[in-house]
């Protein structure tokens, strides 16, 4: 699907970053939002004659306009690269816009999107890290917060992750996305949801890894040298996604919010911290008794059946988002998928459910929280049947049948989408203010799919359990 973060785009970007110290060394240290005047010492290195007070969080709202501009630059860069390097994307611009967009959204199912491992599990997480950093740079309440085992840091990560997910969804299926510009998801094998999950989740882990490296490796290097080029090289090579986010924010790529100048005086910083002593971070708003938002990751075990059909098990997982507008009531978005089992040797399939609606939260009994819900939406079932004789025929001709262009020669893909509703409930165990465990939820699923490819999917039973992140109570 989207290949620029790791392949052709990464090499010139790294080259740009690696030459930055040389370019900077011969220029004036003055620049937008950057270095104060500095004095030269022995060896040509620059050391700041002063240090301002250490940056601290300030009680100001997110700088949405600046965030929007930086995100738009990144989005424009990504789409420009796609159009310049991907013939399939340019070909997808032909034809009706809205029909192509609808075809892309309607074709999505399953996990894989046909991209190689490095694109899905390295390139896209890097994209998630860039957008997460971009949000944090425009979030004054958490902007200079360093890595640490405290609530303020992990709340910063959570806020950045939420924005990385929103940006990823816009890039994948939004109004200005791969689905609308080039209709990528309408083409085999780019149907899957892998990027929707991996980009924000692994991207958040990437941010944490860069924060750890910045605190324990980059700072250590900078304490032992005042060489400007070496400090810049350490910052860029060990924090590449942060450097890209800085560029999108129109800042020099080596900038840090906890030490804005490359000439940071660590001795002065230590003296400053010692003079003010240890002060706990200010809490800008009191925690709520009930969460504002909850996010649940849950495995699924499903059974489908209907008149004249044997039961069809389906194993998979999904995610649930809950927006709590009152203590007793939440609005739920439930997206899940599973792999159909027992279809036969040459047939595979999957089921996708997308549900929305209200959920009632009962009164807590100790740590136990009961829930009841009624959701409406849809259920899509997709199947692929493979013809082994045609595969053998291609092999005898010396043709690699695994190439995408031969897929529809030896396989037959079918799908059916219909209205559905889900009703059920269960209970959670609230472990603490941050996390709860969804112990047992049983739901009845009624679909209007009826009979499809020899199986009936009218009735379904779903069992789920999972882990829930509670936001707003800490």
Closest by Cα among 101, 70, 103 to 178: 101
- The range of the structural domain enclosing residue 373 comes to 293-471
Quick one: 268 and 298 in the same domain?
no
Quick one: 112 and 175 in the same domain?
yes
1 lies in some domain: no
Closest by Cα among 339, 294, 302 to 319: 294
286 lies in some domain: no
Contact 343, 349 (CB under 8 A): yes
196 lies in some domain: yes
Residue 441: CATH number of its domain? 2.40.160.20
Quick one: 17 and 107 in the same domain?
yes
Please say which residue of 243, 276, 309 terminates a domain: 276
Quick one: 348 and 267 in the same domain?
no
Quick one: 254 and 359 in the same domain?
no
Quick one: 243 and 306 in the same domain?
no
Quick one: 361 and 263 in the same domain?
no
**pLDDT score for 54:** 62
The C-alpha atoms of residue 364 and residue 429 are separated, in whole angstroms, by 9
Q: What total number of domains does the chain contain?
A: 2
The C-alpha atoms of residue 337 and residue 339 are separated, in whole angstroms, by 7
**pLDDT score for 449:** 94
Structure tokens belonging to residue 113: 């999107």
Please say which residue of 276, 307, 337 terminates a domain: 276
156 lies in some domain: yes
Contact 439, 463 (CB under 8 A): no
**pLDDT score for 405:** 80
287 lies in some domain: no
Quick one: 209 and 160 in the same domain?
yes
What is the SS3 string spanning the chain?
CCCCCCCCCHHHHHHHHHHHHHHHHCCCCCCCCCCCCCEECHHHCEECCCCCCCCCCCCCCCCHHHHHHHHHHHHHHHHHHHHHHCHHHHHCCCCCHHHHHHHHHHHCCCCCCCCCHHHHHHHHHHHHHHHHHHHHHCCCCCCCCCCCCCHHHHHHHHHHHHHHHHHHHHHHHCCCCCCCCCCHHHCCCCCCCHHHHHHHHHHHHHHHHHHHHHHHHHHHHHHCCCCHHHHHHHHHHHCHHHHHHHHHCCCCCCCCCCCCCCCCCHHHHHHHHHHHCCCCCCCCCCCCCCCCEEEEEEEEEEEEEECCEEEEEEEEEEEEEEEECCCCEEEEEEEEEEEECCCCCCEEEEEEEEEEEEEEECCCECCEEEEEEEEEEEEEEEEEEECHHHHHHHHHCCCCCCCHHHHHHHEEEEEEEEEEEEEEEEEEEECCCCEEEEEEEEEEEEECCCEECCEECCEEEEEEEEEEEEECCC
Quick one: 231 and 304 in the same domain?
no
**pLDDT score for 55:** 72
**pLDDT score for 53:** 52
390 lies in some domain: yes
Residue pLDDT tens, the chain, 474 long: 444 343 444 444 444 444 444 444 333 333 344 444 443 444 344 444 444 456 777 778 899 999 999 999 999 999 999 999 888 889 888 888 999 999 898 888 888 787 888 888 999 999 999 999 999 999 998 988 999 888 889 889 989 998 999 999 999 999 999 999 998 888 887 888 888 889 998 999 999 999 999 999 999 999 999 899 999 999 999 999 999 999 999 999 999 998 888 888 887 777 766 766 655 554 555 556 778 889 998 998 999 999 888 899 999 999 999 999 888 899 999 999 999 999 988 999 999 999 999 999 998 888 999 999 999 999 999 999 999 999 999 888 888 887 878 888 889 999 999 999 999 999 999 988 888 999 889 999 999 999 999 899 999 999 999 999 888 777
Quick one: 202 and 345 in the same domain?
no
Quick one: 367 and 338 in the same domain?
yes
Contact 239, 214 (CB under 8 A): yes
Quick one: 324 and 266 in the same domain?
no
Structure tokens belonging to residue 426: 């269960």
Please say which residue of 276, 307, 335 terminates a domain: 276
5 lies in some domain: no
228 lies in some domain: yes
**pLDDT score for 434:** 84
């Amino acid at each position: 699907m989207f290949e620029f973060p790791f392949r052709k785009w990464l090499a010139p970007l790294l080259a740009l970053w690696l030459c930055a110290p040389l370019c900077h060394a011969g220029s004036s240290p003055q620049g937008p939002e950057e270095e104060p005047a500095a004095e030269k010492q022995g060896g040509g290195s620059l050391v700041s004659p002063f240090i301002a007070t250490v940056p601290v969080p300030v009680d100001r709202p997110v700088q949405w306009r600046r965030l929007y501009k930086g995100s738009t630059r990144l989005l424009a860069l990504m789409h420009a690269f796609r159009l310049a390097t991907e013939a399939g994307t340019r070909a997808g611009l032909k034809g009706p816009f809205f029909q192509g967009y609808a075809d892309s959204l309607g074709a999505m199912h399953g996990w894989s999107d046909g991209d190689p491992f490095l694109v899905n599990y390295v390139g896209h997480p890097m994209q998630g890290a860039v957008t997460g950093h971009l949000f944090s740079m425009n979030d004054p309440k958490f902007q200079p917060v360093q890595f640490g085992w405290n609530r303020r840091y992990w709340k910063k990560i959570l806020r950045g992750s939420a924005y990385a997910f929103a940006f990823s969804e816009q890039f994948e299926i939004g109004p200005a996305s791969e689905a609308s510009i080039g209709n990528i998801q309408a083409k085999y094998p780019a149907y899957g949801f892998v990027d929707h999950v991996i980009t924000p989740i692994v991207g958040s882990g990437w941010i944490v890894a860069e924060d750890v490296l910045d605190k324990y490796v980059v700072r250590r290097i900078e304490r032992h040298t005042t060489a400007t080029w070496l400090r810049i090289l350490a910052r860029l090579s060990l924090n590449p996604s942060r450097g890209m986010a800085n560029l999108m924010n129109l800042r020099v790529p080596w900038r840090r919010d906890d030490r804005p100048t490359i000439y940071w005086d660590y001795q002065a910083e230590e003296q400053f911290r010692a003079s003010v002593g240890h002060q706990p971070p200010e809490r800008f708003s009191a925690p709520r008794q009930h969460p504002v938002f909850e996010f649940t990751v849950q495995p699924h075990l499903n059974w489908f059946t209907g008149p004249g059909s044997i039961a069809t098990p389906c194993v998979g997982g999904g995610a649930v988002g809950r927006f709590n507008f009152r203590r007793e009531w939440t609005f739920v978005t439930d997206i899940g998928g599973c792999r159909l089992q027992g279809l036969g040797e040459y047939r595979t399939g999957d089921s996708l459910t997308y549900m929305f609606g209200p959920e009632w939260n009962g009164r807590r009994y100790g740590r136990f929280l009961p829930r009841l819900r009624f959701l409406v939406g849809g259920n899509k079932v997709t199947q692929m049947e493979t013809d082994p004789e045609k595969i053998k025929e291609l092999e005898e001709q010396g043709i690699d049948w695994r190439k995408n262009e031969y897929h529809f020669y030896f396989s037959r893909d079918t799908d059916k989408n219909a209205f559905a509703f889900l009703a059920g409930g269960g209970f959670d165990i609230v472990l603490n203010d941050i996390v709860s465990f969804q112990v047992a939820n049983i739901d009845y699923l009624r679909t209007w799919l009826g009979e499809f490819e020899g199986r009936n999917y009218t009735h379904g039973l779903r069992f789920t359990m999972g882990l829930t992140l509670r936001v707003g109570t800490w």
